Structure 1
Amino acid sequence: MALGQNILNLRKKNGLSQEQLGEKVNVTRQTISNWELEETAPNPEQLKLLSKVLNVSVDDLIDNDLQNVVLSKIKMTEKQTRTIKKILKGFLIGFITFLVIDIIAFIICFFGHYGPFEETKSESASYVIKENI
């Protein structure tokens, strides 16, 4: 349950109106309404005072809301992790593809320019012989 809903339920359980609770916590009725509608949230000092007035601990007042926040952050982190893994996988596949294409291009260029190794040896050998004559 959200913090605003907790405040609303506890206020009603204690038989207090928004105005009465506001007076005890030193805020206006509109502030209490904003908290209950979750448009704003009480600061830590107001939370302490609220917990005393409503006869609950601060942990009980915010516990469910905190659990919801933690769970939503965990889910968001898991989703971001999956997205990052997909992106990294794409980069890895792209890099490997690039490497394979480069190796193939290098082999084609190397053998296209120099030809088979045997011809290269015979040409260089005949060149050496011709110079000696």
Structure 2
Amino acid sequence: MLNEKIKSLRKQRGFTQEELAIRLNVVRQTISKWEKGLSVPDAEMLIKIADFFEVTTSELLGGSVQSSANETEQNEISQQLARINEQLAIKNRRSRIIWKVILGIIIAVVVFNIFMIVISMVSFNNFNDSLNTTITQTYEETIPIE
């Protein structure tokens, strides 16, 4: 919706992301995030973008507002921005949950491996100590005393 509109307007006007970013005083990555739908511009930036492309903010958001009343247009814009922000928040929340689960699994595997190494070292040391004790006892028994 908004991301596609920004991208199509930019391409229609023949601008690169870098050129648009310079004209709007943002970094190129910001333009890229807008066009990919990973973030949305705030209301002030939305107005700047609409002015730059010489379209109304409602056109930029993909809707058409029949009333020319400024307040009605602002309400529509804020509602659409709120919906977009909510969708992004849900998407980001899901992404964070997935990464937390992956991180938890990795930590569990590492802790399990460390635990197994400690157990094997303790077992090896116990076996080694018992082997040394047996050899010492056997050695003492076979020495002839004169």
Q: If the length of structure 1 is used for normalisation, what is the TM-score?
A: 0.52
Note the residue ranges of structure 2 that are not aligned, 5 or more in a row.
Answer: 11-19, 25-30, 49-56, 62-73, 142-146
Q: 2:92: which partner in 1?
A: 69
Alignment of 1:20-99 (within 5 A): 35-38=34-37, 41-42=40-41, 45-46=44-45, 52=74, 54-56=77-79, 58-99=81-122
Alignment of 1:96-111 (within 5 A): 96-111=119-134
CA distance, structure 1, for counterparts of residue 138 and residue 47 of structure 2? 85
Cα RMSD over matched residues? 4.1
Q: If the length of structure 2 is used for normalisation, what is the TM-score?
A: 0.48
* Contact 2:3/2:35 (8 A) holds in 1: yes
Equivalenced residues, count? 97
Higher relative CO (Cα under 8 Å, sequence separation at least 6) belongs to: 1
Note the residue ranges of structure 1 that are not aligned, 5 or more in a row.
Answer: 12-16, 20-27, 120-133
